[in-house]
Amino acid sequence: MNKFEFAVADSIQTALEELNEHPAAAKVHAGGVDLVGELKHYTAQPDIVVDISEIPDLKWIADDAEGTTIGASVKLIDVIRHEAVSKKHAALQEAASVVGSPQIRNMGTIGGNLCQRPRCWYYRDEAYHCLKKGGDECFSVAGRNRNHCILGGGPCYIVHPSDCAPALIALNASVALQSVKGKRELPLEDFFILPESDATRENVLQPGEILTYIHIPAHAGKSAYIKFREKEGFDWALSACAAALEFSGKTCRSARVVLGGVAPIPWRVRSVESYLQGKEITEETARRAGEMAVEDAMPLAENANKVLLTKAIVKQALLKLNA
């Protein structure tokens, strides 16, 4: 780990000013879990680390008739234990509950979970100067790629590692981004970008900008998050599915279905969403939805199993909501 200065911000404004002074050389620390890993592997080499975990304005959850707002520095364990989250936003509660291990959920924040860098072993290995690090090759294409993407890949084939992101997109969440220039709000779905637009980053955050709040609008539906991981105790998703459905009686009135662990961004499957509209969720519709979810899949040499997995995970998520 290189040397760096550590600045503890006591307000959003202080953090933004600090970041603005060193736009290229600063990194943000919230829970620190992902950042410390990056520092150890030299994928992050900041001169200054700005800590936003102590900012009181970023550490609360507010809930009213319009929805639930979560500060970026709220720890995952506090998201999981919050009554509004468990009662109203099951998909988020289920997703946050399967992030990492108990220790990681005690340290990591919801904002950090959305902004964490990918787990690709070439990216994390300092020996490989890959596309994501500004190099000119994605080593996974001809290399070991069983954990890589089957959808949305090229020229880099990472998968987005967040569990909370697919759940929050299914719940139609938006995020607030702030810099010294001001505040902008956008659907979380639009926060993430594919490698084809810029392989060196996973989201639209500009230097000096931080994610400050997540807002989940009130909804009348049911939601769920199903995750499959190689090591059941503690692992990133090989494939995951977040689904949020609204029903009229037994009929699905609207659906939002988002895949995790299979694409460089949380992957919304609109074909499945429109297919489910007006249907009852039977074994057969759920099976068909699973097939549709991977219709565009282009697996790499070692990850065709993700196609089968994803079909099953989508089916499972939908049937869970029907139960």
Partner 1 sequence: MPDKKGNHSEIPDGVSRRSFLKGMGTGAAILPALGKTVEAADLENRFGPEPAPITLTINEKIYHLQVEPRETLIEVLRNRLNITGTKVVCDNGSCGACTVYLDGAPVYGCMMLAVKAQNKQITTIEGISQNGKLHPVQEAFIEADALQCGFCTPGFVMSMAKVFEENPKASLIEVKQGLAGHICRCGAYAQIFKAAENVSKRNGG
What is the binding site for partner 1 (CB under 8 A)? 1-10, 29, 32-33, 36-37, 39-40, 47, 49, 51, 53, 77, 100-104, 106-107, 233-234
Q: In this structure, which amino acid lies at residue 190?
A: D
- What is the nearest approach in angstroms of partner 1 to the Cβ of residue 1? 5
Task: Describe the crossing of helices 305-322 and 283-293 by its angle, rounded to 10 degrees.
Answer: 140
Q: Which is nearer to partner 1, 7 or 204 (CB)?
A: 7
- What is the nearest approach in angstroms of partner 1 to the Cβ of residue 110? 16
DSSP state of 263: S
Measured between alpha carbons, how far is 133 from 127 in angstroms, rounded to an integer? 11
Q: Which is nearer to partner 1, 77 or 158 (CB)?
A: 77
DSSP state of 56: G
Q: How far apart are the first and last CA of the chain?
A: 49
Cα of 130 vs its chain's centroid, Å: 22
- What is the nearest approach in angstroms of partner 1 to the Cβ of residue 131? 23
- What is the nearest approach in angstroms of partner 1 to the Cβ of residue 315? 25
Q: Which is nearer to partner 1, 104 or 193 (CB)?
A: 104
Measured between alpha carbons, how far is 234 from 101 in angstroms, rounded to an integer? 6
User: For the stretch 4-23, what's the b/e string if a residue is b when 16 or more beta carbons lie within 10 angstroms of its beta carbon?
Assistant: beebebeebeebbebbeebe
Measured between alpha carbons, how far is 53 from 15 in angstroms, rounded to an integer? 10
C-alpha distances in Å from residue 299, one per residue of 175, 224, 233, 302, 304 = 31, 26, 26, 8, 5
Q: Which is nearer to partner 1, 192 or 236 (CB)?
A: 236
Contact of 122 with 140, CB cutoff 8 Å: yes
Q: Which is nearer to partner 1, 100 or 154 (CB)?
A: 100
- What is the nearest approach in angstroms of partner 1 to the Cβ of residue 33? 5
Q: Which is nearer to partner 1, 56 or 102 (CB)?
A: 102
